A = this chain, B = another copy of it.
Amino acid sequence: MKVVVLAGGVGGAKLADGIARILPPEDVTIIVNTGDDFEHLGLTICPDLDTVMYRLAGMANDETGWGRAGESWRTIDAVAALGGPDWFRLGDLDLATHLVRTNKLRAGESLTAVTQHLCQKLGIQVSVLPMSDQPAPTKIQSNDTIHPFQTWFVQEKWQPPVTKVVLPEDVRATRSVIRAFETADLVLIAPSNPFVSIDPIFNVYPIAALLEDLPQAVIAVSPIVGGQAVKGPAAKMMQELDLPHTSRAVAEYYGERIDGFVYDVQDAGSCDNLEVETRCLDTMMVTEADRVRLAQEVMQFAEEMLSN
């Protein structure tokens, strides 16, 4: 079964890793949100791509969920001493990724090609694709202020209330992304933030239309557990956007885009009578074994759905 995983950062990376550990690599494509990407200190930084790559390469920092294990901070501390910005904490090891990526982008390579290069060097065998090769910056409107995403997310610690998520117009998918959708049997929406991780992917033309038109099953895994986001601002955003901060509301938000929905055992009984098939699973992924188990159970759900 050929699987496409739509992923944002930490949660998406974890499910992607589980899937990558149980399926043949040629059957797995991870399509990653690049709406968080930004230029900082002269570098092109792609936080979600890096989180996914580091996780798949087994070099993720398990404490933070982002960045590399065994990280150090000599350069960014020296940047601060020189009066440079240090609100975005670039680790010494992580910096290497940004330097190599930026250098290759400046030389004219596409983000898709650069990501492929980095994955190859990191020993990643599944296909990891940025959702687009064009810049596609997500912005956060908070009342009268429009924040660049990382300003809101990191510098402001996602505290300014979200009035609207502003996605760019006219962003196009790459051929690789379109081909992945066209050949997929199953699309998994990872437990990532629906508004700032997954919507930016749907916003890339023609991804939403492909999902609608093509016959694959689409299964989303809820990022909300017990009314809270496992990590990050998803639940807070739901409240600010006048949605209940529940798994059920996530399923309803995805609406006709999905055919199946996975939600956590902590919310057992909360997703009855939805218009999609549902499966109640332990979705918490703390260890590698958790990631593998959840991936197996999600795949079993998918196989049952597809055989009906």
Contacts and interface: CB of A to CB of B under 8 A. Distances in A.
A99 B75 contact: yes
A78 B72 CA distance: 12
Given A42-B42, A75-B75, A97 B82 contact: yes
Interface stretch (A88-96, A175-183, A253-261): A88-96
Nearest to A118: B82
Copies of this chain per assembly? 2
A43 interface: yes
A interface SS class: helix
Contacts of A92: 72, 74-75, 78, 92
Contacts of A74: 72, 74, 92-93
B93 A41 contact: no
Best-surrounded residue of A41, A85, A96, A103 (most CB of chain B within 10 A):
A96
Interface residues of A, number: 29
A103 B95 CA distance: 15
Nearest to A44: B42
A79 B117 CA distance: 13
Contact of A100 (B43, B72, B84): B84
B99 A84 contact: yes
Nearest first, the 4 A-B pairs at minimum CB distance are A78-B96, A84-B100, A74-B92, A42-B102
Interface of A: 41-43, 72, 74-79, 81-85, 92-93, 95-97, 99-100, 102-103, 106, 117-118, 121-122
25 contacts: A41-B99, A41-B100, A41-B102, A42-B43, A42-B99, A42-B103, A43-B99, A72-B92, A74-B93, A75-B92, A75-B93, A75-B96, A75-B99, A77-B96, A78-B96, A78-B97, A79-B99, A79-B100, A81-B96, A82-B96, A82-B97, A82-B118, A82-B122, A83-B100, A84-B103
